[in-house]
Amino acid sequence: MKKFFMLLALLGTTMMAAEKTVYDFTLSSIEGQATPLGSFKGKVVLLVNVASRCGFTPQYAGLEALYEKYKDRGFVIVGIPANNFGAQEPGTNQEIKTFCTSKYHVTFPMMAKVSVKGDDITPLYAFLTDKTANPKTGGEIGWNFTKFLIGPDGKVLARFDSEVEPDAKDLTSTIEKALSNLK
């Protein structure tokens, strides 16, 4: 019986150690290169599903300003194009990249287009929206420019809906708090 409880304790410890984080996922960059999100370990990351033909598209300018403001303190924004809402991101990855750099001068990392909901949801977004894995921030994404703030350990700290502008006090204060905890 003692061996059973020791085995049970060992399994529980192993399961806790195997808890998934954002850093367990890999996306493709907009240029087609594999980008393990683990490469951002130790940083505060804002994941944003983006679209070029959306009423929220002007948020690119605010996102770039936010990135420029905090990038030297260990902050990174990752733009993740998706065409799930009103077909507002119909372009190819090259067209998206050209649009973002020429119109909004985006310098933060951009990933290749993925699906953020539905049957073809990418594994990262299946994880982000899973209410069991992320009870406080999970749930289906409602529109483009939903923002997930990720801590240096890869855990989801907060979620902000599309209407939350990049310079909103709620968002910036949460980023500041997360950055103040960096070692």
100 is catalytic: no
CA distance 172 to 178: 10
C-alpha dist (Å) from residue 167 to 13, 66, 76? 41, 7, 15
Active-site choice (20, 29, 41, 54) = 54
For 81, the enclosing helix (H) or strand (E) is strand 75-81
Q: Is the dihedral of CA 130, 167, 81, 55 positive or negative?
A: positive
C-alpha dist (Å) from residue 134 to 68, 138, 154, 158? 29, 5, 12, 10
Q: How far is CA 48 from the centre of its chain?
A: 5
Q: Which residues are catalytic?
A: 54
